[in-house]
Structure 1
Amino acid sequence: MELTTQQCNESMSAATNVLLFEDDYLEIKNAIERLHSLFAGVTGINAGNITDQDIYLPSGKAVSTIKAAHCLKELERTRRFVRGIYHAINHLLDTIPGHIINILYAGCGPYGTLLTPLTSQFTAAQVNFILLDINPDSLEAAKVLYEKLDLLDYVVDFVCADATTYKFPDGVRIDMVISETMLNALRKEPQVAIMNNLIPKMRPEAIFIPEKIAVEAVLTRWEEEYKHFTVLDYQPKRIRVGLVYCASREFKLPQPVVIEVPASKTHNRLDLFTEIKVFGREVLTTYNCSLTTPFAVCKLENQSDSIKIAFEYILSDDPGFTYMI
């Protein structure tokens, strides 16, 4: 039996309360499954077999509609981002009382995953959205979702555009920008290019989500990393080498950096680790999700002396860090 609009919104509200306020992972998993069932049922976009195609841009890959739907099902990723955005909205409501908080969501996908659940926590008199995606199929699905859930009062506009070149609309004060368009180590997708375009256009008080993305070079050992998954609460022994890049509200494009890697008889793999601070205390660390899985750079066999490795970020249709020993 098809749910009424009221039943859909009650179901979404209950699931969102779990994401925001519960810490039991089984409850959180079930809440995300309920959200997926609801969103997929309304839009017809199911996070199942990927049969559609990514969109390739001069600034990187924009994921397909079904791939974007899959992002919802990464438990810790969704939970941390939704919680962080919830706290960020409350912060803005406290600091600019009496104003509607206008949020640009660049790369909203078919579900508006990081904002749609929060319509159960805030009214349209408190928050308004500009939902932007370069994929017309994703944007059309988002329109259907908001129409069928009777949430159109929240939306200033649905925009099909490239976020790396998008300009804020005249007469709309943007208080928050959300863009979660990345892979681990900032590869492949246009997160850096989007930040480079949008952050300079933001007012000083406006918030960018995520607050910080740090990429660090780390020496690892396979046996140590394996224990992380097989031994309860095991903390792998690693050798932190140096910060490769940090993107934040005080945005700067990545600059070439040279890092000295110490000699090690035990740790022979150089990885890039990614840590994402969504907002406040909501942080995604190593192995929390696909965005923070270590990215292997190279193996350093029989290394008796320290060596220097130069990293450079390439902005292109295949963005990411290159390295030279």
Structure 2
Amino acid sequence: MDQTSDISIVRNAVRTLLDCADDFFIMKQSVDALYNVFSRIAGVSPAQIGVDKDIILPSGKAISPSAAAHCLLEMKRTAVFLRGIHQSVLQKLNNRADKPVRILYAGTGPYGTLVIPLLPLFTPDKIQIDLLDINPASLEALQKLIDELQLNEYIGSVFCEDATTFTLSRNYDIAISETMLACLKSEPQVAVMQNIIPQLHPEAIFIPEEIRIDAALTNPKMEQDRLLYYENEAPPFRRIELGNVFTVNKKTLDIDRMQKIIEIPDEKDFPVLKLFTTVKVFGDELLSENDSSITLPVNFYDLRKKTAQHIVFWYVQGEKPYIESRVVRTPALYQTEIMNAL
């Protein structure tokens, strides 16, 4: 297939993804079209998962090129991020039409999934991208894609470095990094945000704008019936909302000071505490429960195995970041018990 055809496929696919709302059939067709072009040119596909390797960093796992390639196929995840980023670029262009919008994309993977499809919608004088990834194999594959699609005029610098320690050498209007799993487990999303956001101009946009994790008590049968429901009359459904346990955004980066205690009501019919991840990409573009692998609910605590009246939550960083918890006896003693747990 010639370059003109490939560019047309990419342009048409991304335009459809921006406009198709939640029409999942059309969304899947468009994502598949992007994948077919990108995988053929870059030479990387999810079929290679297990062959290429993840990179373990002091701040979490940088997934392999093939695993990163697979992220493109999560259609709503791809669509919502592309929509949010497209809106952020338009906003910046409206504010400064005389200069290109400068973007740093950290954690590109082999496809540059969150930016590369958008480039044919703009001219190089409107948008300029710096690319950052720690895996040289991903950057090599991405360069093939850029060359074949003739997008080099949009690309500034390419950095093979760790986004959690990278030092910015220029001002950016937008910084993008989606390096996460549900409940911010294993991957270095929080560490990337802690490093990059303080280096940005206060008016710069970081995408995603916010990640929040909320807790709720659930009834296992109601949860199962809701997922399996296909009839006209919905089955009874209820959760006991417990509130937010963790939020990270431009204003809440000092996670060492974030400990949240949750009171557990006596609700015997709702014995499983689940955590729910919501990703605010930009503006009204959100990924919520079950929209993608990064927002899958997580069974966190089973009150049938051990009762609790209060649970304290905090975030642990390191090679395997995760949300930790501890049952505390009384609210009056929880500060002491937290300090003993940390």
Query: Would you call these one fold, judging by a TM-score over 0.5?
Result: yes
- Normalising by structure 1, report the TM-score: 0.95
Paired positions, count: 320
Q: Letter of the aligned partner of 1:121 in structure 2?
A: L
2:133 maps to what in 1? Answer: 133
Residue 123 of structure 2 aligns to a residue in which SS? Answer: coil
Correspondence 1:71-220 to 2 at 5 A:
71-169=71-169, 172-220=170-218
Cα deviation, residue 47, structure 1: 2.3
1:246 maps to what in 2? Answer: 247
Cα distance in 2, alignment partners of residues 143 and 31 from structure 1: 22
2:274 maps to what in 1? Answer: 271
Q: Letter of the aligned partner of 1:166 in structure 2?
A: F
268-277 or 45-54, larger mean C-alpha shift: 45-54
201-210 or 235-244, larger mean C-alpha shift: 235-244
2:317 maps to what in 1? Answer: 315
Post-superposition Cα deviations, 1:116-173, rounded to whole Å, max 9, x if no partner, equal: 110121111111111111111011111111011110111111110000000111xx32
Q: Letter of the aligned partner of 2:168 in structure 1?
A: F
1:237 maps to what in 2? Answer: 238
Q: Letter of the aligned partner of 1:109 in structure 2?
A: G
Cα deviation, residue 224, structure 1: 1.6
CA contact (8 A) 2:180 2:189 kept: yes
Q: Percent identity?
A: 38
Q: Letter of the aligned partner of 2:163 in structure 1?
A: A
Cα distance in 1, alignment partners of residues 147 and 322 from structure 2: 38
Cα deviation, residue 312, structure 1: 1.5
Q: Is the alpha carbon distance of 1:55 and 1:230 closer, same or farther for their aligned partners in structure 2, counting shifts above 3 Å?
A: same
Residue 48 of structure 1 aligns to a residue in which SS? Answer: helix
Q: Letter of the aligned partner of 2:38 in structure 1?
A: F
Correspondence 1:23-38 to 2 at 5 A:
23=21, 24-38=23-37
Question: Runs (4+) of structure 1 moved beyond 6 Å?
Answer: none
Q: Aligned-residue CA RMSD in angstroms?
A: 1.5
Cα distance in 1, alignment partners of residues 81 and 237 from structure 2: 26
1:284 maps to what in 2? Answer: 287
CA contact (8 A) 2:41 2:145 kept: yes
Residue 123 of structure 1 aligns to a residue in which SS? Answer: coil
CA contact (8 A) 1:16 1:120 kept: no
CA contact (8 A) 1:19 1:31 kept: yes
Q: Letter of the aligned partner of 2:157 in structure 1?
A: D
Residue 157 of structure 1 aligns to a residue in which SS? Answer: strand
Cα deviation, residue 303, structure 1: 7.7
- Normalising by structure 2, report the TM-score: 0.90
Cα distance in 2, alignment partners of residues 163 and 235 from structure 1: 45
CA contact (8 A) 2:246 2:314 kept: no
2:336 maps to what in 1? Answer: none
CA contact (8 A) 1:199 1:251 kept: no
Post-superposition Cα deviations, 1:241-290, rounded to whole Å, max 9, x if no partner, equal: 12111111223232122111111111111111100110111101101111
Q: Which runs of 5+ in 1 are unaligned?
A: none
Cα distance in 1, alignment partners of residues 55 and 270 from structure 2: 38
Cα distance in 1, alignment partners of residues 241 and 226 from structure 2: 17
Post-superposition Cα deviations, 1:32-64, rounded to whole Å, max 9, x if no partner, equal: 111000001101111224121111000000000
Q: Is the alpha carbon distance of 1:78 and 1:301 closer, same or farther for their aligned partners in structure 2, counting shifts above 3 Å?
A: same
